[in-house]
């Protein structure tokens, strides 16, 4: 591959450096907040993977790039101009995002500074713990019933679960199993909320361990790398907001197993499902650059998909219609009086263009969808929209007491808002599991003004804003 891709890697590296500098200065007084988490997720899925991807591309054997045929096809067909366009779209998105945040600070009522306004001016987020626990128990029952139906032994069931997740034709699919396993992710995320809420109650340690066991079951039965990683990310993000510390040393240590899990995780799961040993997994890659490419392509799959979309998907500007159609498709047939005859999903159009009509869904990617929607203006429009949404969340955050429960709620909320960063398509985000999480948070979280007693019981944290 052309060594010119190193220039794109350098552009992303400079952009990431500038963004980190801006965030450090912005949060110096009050510590990390929901916007910090949004930027963290953006860097984790777009910025940092892009640096590794374009940096390793010229060093890899063009005949054996990542070991993934879809990724390899896209990367071999990528031009320098397309790669630079992806960078420019990402850069303009960030600029527009911060512009919208600034406008929100001017338009919304100012939360002021809690250190000068006093704790009595802050609201408290309360979690209805008993209904949440009941919901998790129900979720555990549904998940286990579906899991037990997959085979005669635990090993066979788990292998079939992985095949089920991968869309293997030999595993029977029905509406109950499909929805039950999709909801496993929702139970997993809600278990994180429950664990962090219980962490504030020292007299509920036994209950905490019980919920932790359920959380582990949900993560393992997710049957994917994502299912194991997301609960950890959510807990980490909540900890960052609550303590005001990023704990970068621990992150650096965790990055090593995370990198290996990204590179080899899918091969490990395939070995469990189809049989195979260490040699089978290790034989997936031919060189170190290939390992780096695979890990960075998996972490930054939205970058790879965007490259493929801009290169291969020749469509007129969509003007945001795909997002409206994604929401309409969530309505049951006939609910508005007639059957909906909607056009083909953008996810299927991108899949056909990138890997073929019979492949599993492959979305257009974050920058790719911005390009499809409004061409170059898409980055500005998307940045403004996300900036306004996060500006509202930010304003609510700065009027809330910094409890661990509140940090968990804002962590999950920010993560839900940032989901399109991974795919660009609401088809992948407005699904039964995310809808359940949104409804559960809406129903189980209340906002209260503190009483006089509470004002004395909850002193301000040093980093609070």
What pLDDT digit, counting tens, does each position of 260-314 carry? 787 777 777 767 766 666 566 666 666 888 889 999 999 999 999 999 999 999 9
Q: What is the DSSP secondary-structure string of 14-58? A: HHHHHHHHHHHHHTTTT---HHHHHHHHHIIIIIHHHHHHHHHGG
Report CA torsion sign: 430, 434, 436, 441.
negative
Exposure of 169 in the CB half-sphere (CA atoms within 13 A): 3
What pLDDT digit, counting tens, does each position of 118-138 carry? 555 688 899 999 999 999 999
What pLDDT digit, counting tens, does each position of 165-205 carry? 777 767 777 888 888 988 999 999 999 999 999 998 778 88
For residue 317, the model assigns a pLDDT of 94
**With contact defined as beta carbons under 8 Å apart, do 234 and 415 qualify?**
yes
Asked whether residue 402 carries a pLDDT value surpassing 70, the answer given is yes
Paired tokens of 228:
């194991």
Residue 400 sits at the vertex; the CA angle it makes with 383 and 415, to the nearest 5 degrees, is 40
Higher pLDDT, 97 or 106: 97
Domain boundary assignment for the chain: 5-125+231-457
Paired tokens of 314:
């020749």
Instruction: Single out the residue of 401, 444, 324, 385 nearest to residue 118, CA to CA.
Output: 401
For residue 113, the model assigns a pLDDT of 46
What pLDDT digit, counting tens, does each position of 195-237 carry? 999 998 778 889 999 999 999 999 999 988 888 899 999 999 9
The Cα diameter of the chain in Å comes to 69
For helices 80-107 and 366-374, angle between their N-to-C axes, nearest 10 degrees: 80
Asked whether residue 355 carries a pLDDT value surpassing 60, the answer given is yes
Distance CA 250, CA 22 (A): 23
**With contact defined as beta carbons under 8 Å apart, do 432 and 179 qualify?**
yes
């Amino acid at each position: 591959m052309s060594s010119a891709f190193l220039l794109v890697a350098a552009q992303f590296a400079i952009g990431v450096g500038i963004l980190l500098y801006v965030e450090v200065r912005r949060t110096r007084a009050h510590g990390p907040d929901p916007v910090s988490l949004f930027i963290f997720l953006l860097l984790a899925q777009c910025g940092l993977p892009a640096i590794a991807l374009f940096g390793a591309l010229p060093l890899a054997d063009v005949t054996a790039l990542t070991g993934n045929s879809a990724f390899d096809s896209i990367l071999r067909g990528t031009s320098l101009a397309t790669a630079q366009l992806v960078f420019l779209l990402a850069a303009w998105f960030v600029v527009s995002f911060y512009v919208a945040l600034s406008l929100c600070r001017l338009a919304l009522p100012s939360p002021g500074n809690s250190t000068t306004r006093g704790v009595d001016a802050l609201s408290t987020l309360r979690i209805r713990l008993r209904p949440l626990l009941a919901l998790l128990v129900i979720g555990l029952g549904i998940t286990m019933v579906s899991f037990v139906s997959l085979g005669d032994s635990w090993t066979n069931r788990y292998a079939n679960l992985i095949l089920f997740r991968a869309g293997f034709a030999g595993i029977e699919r029905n509406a109950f199993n499909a929805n039950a396993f999709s909801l496993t992710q929702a139970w997993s995320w809600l278990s994180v909320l429950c664990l962090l809420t219980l962490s504030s109650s020292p007299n509920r340690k036994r209950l905490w361990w019980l919920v932790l066991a359920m959380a582990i079951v949900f993560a393992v039965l997710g049957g994917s790398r994502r299912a194991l990683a997301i609960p950890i990310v959510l807990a980490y993000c909540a900890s960052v907001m609550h303590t005001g510390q990023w704990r970068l040393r621990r992150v650096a240590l965790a990055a090593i197993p995370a990198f290996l899990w990204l590179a080899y995780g899918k091969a490990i799961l395939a070995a469990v499902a189809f049989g195979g040993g260490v040699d089978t997994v290790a034989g997936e890659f031919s060189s170190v650059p290939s390992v780096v490419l695979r890990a960075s392509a998996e972490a930054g799959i939205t970058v790879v998909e965007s490259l493929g979309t801009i290169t291969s998907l020749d469509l007129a500007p969509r003007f945001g219609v795909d997002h409206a159609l994604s929401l309409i498709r969530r309505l049951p047939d006939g609910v508005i009086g007639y059957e909906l005859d909607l056009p083909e999903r953008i996810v299927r159009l991108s899949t056909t263009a990138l890997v073929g009509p019979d492949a599993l869904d492959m979305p257009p990617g974050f920058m790719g969808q911005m390009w499809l929607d409004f061409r170059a203006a898409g980055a500005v429009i998307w940045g403004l929209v996300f900036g306004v949404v996060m500006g509202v969340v930010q304003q609510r955050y700065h009027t809330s007491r910094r409890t661990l429960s509140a940090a968990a709620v804002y962590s999950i909320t920010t993560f839900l808002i940032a989901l399109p960063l991974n795919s660009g398509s609401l088809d992948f985000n407005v699904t039964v599991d995310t809808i359940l999480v949104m409804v559960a948070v809406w129903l189980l979280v209340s906002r209260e003004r503190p009483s006089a007693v509470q004002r004395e019981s909850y002193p301000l944290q040093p980093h609070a804003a």
